[in-house]
């Protein structure tokens, strides 16, 4: 089976939340392009092609949905690590979390998150939110592929 | 030389070796009289051999007569002009009683001073034994005999005691007694110089009393107190300092202020104190908190060094004082520890509420989500009842979500930093009402905004107060055909600290008996079926007001509306 072209990386340890997110994305018909990682370390490995992801083609998702409270490496730390690498400085990262904590919000933006979204309890609202996010970042938003390629070359 | 023992003693503030000029003079006189007396005695007519007649001498009468022959009993010896001049000199002295005794103690001469002091004329006293000048007590104690005996042994005796005048009154005498010796060194008699120092003694007594009172005063002080010479010698220490040092008084007074163990237990302390002392010696008053080793442990004292200057501004000595503030410092430290503990507990609580927010909401989302998926994807296969149950599951999970949201909001308020500034409440009220526009839709609501003085508050939080209060007012007037909501300011009785903003409505009100519980988290006075809500809104209002050091309270009569008052403490309102 050929490797899927991954468009969305979801970093989410809660299986229910993950399942609901996938369920919502399935309705949007983009679940096939989603990579799910269960903790921060796995997410970093996926992006950098290390650990269980070593030897794979370097990942280039178009969007990361990042939960903050994940095992091993926290969401904030993932943000820091990813943004510190020139290759991922322009990667859209949406923090998707239950925390409404002011300090979390501030810290995420400081570390370079593109957006901060609080997961609603209501599944209808949740589905609508997932639709809006993916629609915006994958369709409406104009990415900067030229800049990303330049960064790729420099990194290589 | 002014004989002024009174003045000299009174200006000396503490016991010191007394210069006592009067005594010196008296001593000198006594010596001189003794010397001259010997000279005269050797040539005197009352004993050719210079030896006074023994007491049991049958010739005693004669001797007496002979002596009386002199003007004041002093032998008028033509053989000596010097002796005559001296006789006149002694005779004329008024401030000292100067008289001579024979070997047994009979009075042989009596000068003007003696007459003035004792009241006896020479003819009344000459020939009598000098012991008649003593008090009965001293006589019985054998003092007259002893003084002569001692003078004969050691040469000259100084002595103080009561003496009795002719009229029976007493005075306090300083007496010098010198033996007179004839050729061959045999005792021929005695010269006595007596000075009335009753007044001096009285004044000394007063000075001693004043000193004692001062001593009592400084000894009764709970502070460590010492008078220190500029070289660090201790001149005076109070009892507290003495006890604190743990040293016997003599050893303490020998210890240099700067070198006592009370500082040297810690070289840093000793160094600081030395520097402070130098500054004090230079004329500066120094005060700071210092450590001291006292009562066998290290205490913290509020320490001061005060230079005492003379009229010319020269520093004479330094008064060192220390107040034990260990208990206060320990209390402060305990308070700091307690505060730190509370802060830690608060942080724990925050961490707790943080995880509650995250971990409680995730399963709720699952419950809600799967119920929704069941309805959407498997609805056709379910009965209406089953679908109804699923809807209830969804609604409940949403309610719980709202509740958690409110609680988190409430806990966040505790740590949110206040940013106080001058705020115009009228603007804030208008903004709050704009946010609540949806709740007014389709209703007849009249809102009156009175004069609201500006206040010093966190604008964002003040807005939340008004949003909550106005939202309540709108909610509980829902049953009214015409809702009336008033926002105003009430300067109660002119007392600023009781003045308050208020939000009044004509809604259903509440039972005033439960008004205290209104502001508790999750407390509700109305069933949720009638009036939705989480019971967090007023708790949030109260928390915001309390964080502004203000008060919030409510008044109501059921079905006659409710009024909520709040203020921000006395100084926060500009009204």
Provide the pLDDT for residue B8.
42
Could you tell me which chain B residue has the CA closest to the CA of A18?
A: B366
pLDDT band at residue B574 using 50, 70 and 90 as cut-offs: very low
CA angle in degrees (0–180, nearest 5) for B445-B450-B455? 120
Mean pLDDT for the stretch of residues B535-549: 87
Cβ proximity of A150 and A50 under 8 Å: no
pLDDT band at residue B575 using 50, 70 and 90 as cut-offs: very low
**Contact residues for A79 (Cβ-Cβ < 8 A; gap 6+):** A66, A93, A95, A108, A111, A112, A113
The whole-angstrom separation of Cα A88 and Cα B426 is 49
* B329 or B79, greater pLDDT: B329
**Model confidence pLDDT, tens digit, residues A37-93:** 998 889 998 988 888 888 877 778 889 999 988 888 889 999 999 999 888 888 899
Provide the pLDDT for residue B44.
38
Mean pLDDT for the stretch of residues B252-281: 93
Contact A122 B373 (CB under 8 A): no
The radius of gyration computed from the CA coordinates of chain A, to the nearest angstrom, equals 15
Mean pLDDT of chain B: 82
pLDDT band at residue B32 using 50, 70 and 90 as cut-offs: low
Provide the pLDDT for residue B61.
40
Check pLDDT > 90 for residue B129: yes
Cβ proximity of B316 and B309 under 8 Å: yes
Cβ proximity of B523 and B510 under 8 Å: no
C-alpha distances in Å from residue A8, one per residue of A102, A124, B357: 26, 21, 26
The whole-angstrom separation of Cα A136 and Cα A130 is 10
C-alpha distances in Å from residue B264, one per residue of B95, B271, B279, B291, B413: 56, 9, 19, 11, 52
Contact A123 B372 (CB under 8 A): yes
Mean pLDDT for the stretch of residues B192-203: 91
**Model confidence pLDDT, tens digit, residues B417-476:** 888 889 999 999 999 999 888 888 888 889 999 988 888 888 989 999 999 999 989 988
The whole-angstrom separation of Cα B450 and Cα B501 is 10
In this complex, which of A14, A102, A123 lies closest to B368 when CB atoms are compared?
Answer: A123
Strands annotated E in B401-526: 420-423, 445-449, 455-458, 483-490, 500-505
Interface of A with B (CB under 8 A): 14, 16-17, 20, 23, 69, 97-102, 119-124, 126
Is B528 strand, coil or helix? coil
> B476 CA to chain A: closest CA distance, Å?
27
- Look-up of token digits 């724990």: B348
The whole-angstrom separation of Cα A103 and Cα B347 is 13
Judging contacts by C-beta atoms under 8 Å, the chain B residues touching residue A23 are 369, 373
**Model confidence pLDDT, tens digit, residues B383-416:** 888 888 888 888 888 888 888 888 777 777 777 7
Provide the pLDDT for residue B70.
42
Provide the pLDDT for residue B567.
86
pLDDT band at residue B227 using 50, 70 and 90 as cut-offs: very high
Provide the pLDDT for residue B1.
44
pLDDT band at residue B11 using 50, 70 and 90 as cut-offs: very low
Provide the pLDDT for residue B150.
92
Check pLDDT > 50 for residue B43: no
> Could you tell me the two tokens for A135?
């629609």
Interface predicted TM-score (ipTM): 0.72
**Contact residues for B279 (Cβ-Cβ < 8 A; gap 6+):** B286, B305
> Could you tell me the two tokens for A95?
């923090």
Provide the pLDDT for residue B53.
40
Is B155 strand, coil or helix? coil
Provide the pLDDT for residue B80.
62
> A26 CA to chain B: closest CA distance, Å?
12
The whole-angstrom separation of Cα B168 and Cα B170 is 7
pLDDT band at residue A139 using 50, 70 and 90 as cut-offs: confident
């Amino acid at each position: 089976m050929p490797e899927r072209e991954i468009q969305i990386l979801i970093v989410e340890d809660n299986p229910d939340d993950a399942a609901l997110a996938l369920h919502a994305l399935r309705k949007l018909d983009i679940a096939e392009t989603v990579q799910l990682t269960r903790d921060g370390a796995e997410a970093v490995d996926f992006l950098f092609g290390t650990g269980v992801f070593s030897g794979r083609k370097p990942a280039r998702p178009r969007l990361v949905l990042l939960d903050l409270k994940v095992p091993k490496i926290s969401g904030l730390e993932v943000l820091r690590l990813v943004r510190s690498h020139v290759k991922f400085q322009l990667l859209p990262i949406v923090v998707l979390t239950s925390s409404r904590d002011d300090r979390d919000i501030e810290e995420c933006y400081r570390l370079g998150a593109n957006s901060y979204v609080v997961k609603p309890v209501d599944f209808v609202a949740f589905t609508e939110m997932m639709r809006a996010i993916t629609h915006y970042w994958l369709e409406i938003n104009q990415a900067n592929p030229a800049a990303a390629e330049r960064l790729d070359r420099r990194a290589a | 030389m002014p004989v002024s023992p009174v003045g000299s003693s009174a200006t000396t503030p503490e016991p010191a070796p007394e210069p006592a000029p009067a005594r010196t003079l008296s001593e000198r006189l006594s010596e001189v009289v003794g010397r001259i007396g010997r000279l005269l005695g050797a040539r005197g007519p009352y004993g050719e051999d210079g030896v006074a007649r023994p007491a049991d001498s049958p010739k005693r009468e004669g001797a007496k007569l002979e002596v009386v022959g002199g003007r004041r009993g002093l032998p008028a010896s033509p053989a000596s002009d010097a002796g005559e001049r001296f006789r006149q000199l002694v005779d004329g002295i008024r401030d000292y009683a100067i008289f001579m005794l024979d070997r047994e103690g009979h009075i042989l001469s009596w000068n003007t001073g003696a007459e003035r002091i004792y009241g006896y004329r020479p003819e009344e006293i000459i020939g009598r034994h000098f012991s008649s000048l003593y008090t009965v007590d001293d006589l019985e104690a054998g003092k007259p005999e002893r003084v002569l005996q001692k003078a004969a042994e050691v040469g000259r005796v100084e002595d103080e005691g009561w003496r009795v005048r002719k009229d029976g009154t007493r005075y306090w005498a300083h007496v010098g007694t010198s033996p007179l010796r004839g050729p061959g060194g045999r005792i021929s008699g005695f010269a006595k110089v007596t000075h009335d120092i009753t007044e001096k003694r009285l004044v000394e007594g007063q000075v001693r009393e004043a000193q004692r009172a001062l001593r009592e005063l400084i000894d009764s002080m709970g502070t460590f107190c010492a008078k220190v010479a500029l070289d660090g010698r201790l001149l005076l220490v109070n009892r507290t300092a003495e006890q604190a040092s743990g040293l016997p008084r003599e050893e303490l007074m020998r210890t240099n202020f700067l070198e006592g163990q009370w500082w040297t237990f810690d070289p840093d302390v000793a160094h600081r104190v030395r520097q402070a002392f130098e500054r004090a010696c230079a004329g500066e008053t120094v005060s700071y908190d210092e450590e001291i080793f006292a009562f066998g442990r290290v205490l913290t004292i509020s320490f001061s060094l005060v230079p005492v200057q003379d009229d010319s501004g020269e520093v004479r000595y330094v008064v060192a004082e220390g107040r034990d503030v260990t208990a206060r410092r320990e209390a402060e430290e305990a308070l700091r520890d307690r505060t730190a503990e509370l802060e830690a507990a608060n942080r724990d609580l925050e961490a707790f509420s943080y995880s509650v927010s995250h971990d409680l909401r995730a399963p709720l989302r699952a419950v809600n989500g799967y119920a929704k998926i069941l309805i959407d994807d498997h609805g056709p296969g379910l009965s209406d009842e089953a679908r109804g149950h699923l809807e209830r599951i969804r609604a409940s999970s949403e309610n719980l979500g709202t509740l958690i949201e409110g609680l988190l909001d409430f806990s966040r308020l505790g740590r949110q930093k206040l940013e106080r500034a001058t705020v115009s409440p009228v603007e804030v009220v208008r903004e709050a009402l704009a946010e609540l526009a949806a709740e007014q839709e389709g209703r007849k609501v009249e809102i009156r905004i009175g004069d609201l003085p500006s206040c010093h508050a966190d604008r964002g939080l003040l807005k939340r107060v008004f949003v909550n209060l106005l939202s309540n007012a709108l909610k509980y007037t829902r049953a009214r055909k015409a809702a009336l909501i008033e926002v105003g300011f009430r300067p109660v009785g002119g007392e600023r600290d009781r003045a308050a903003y208020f939000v009044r409505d004509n809604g259903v009100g509440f039972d005033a008996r439960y008004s205290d519980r209104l502001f508790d988290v999750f407390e509700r006075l109305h069933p949720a079926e009638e009036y939705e809500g989480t019971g967090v809104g007023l708790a949030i209002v109260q928390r915001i007001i309390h964080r502004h050091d203000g008060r919030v309270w409510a008044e109501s009569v059921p079905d006659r509306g409710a009024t909520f008052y709040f203020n921000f403490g006395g100084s926060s309102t500009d009204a």
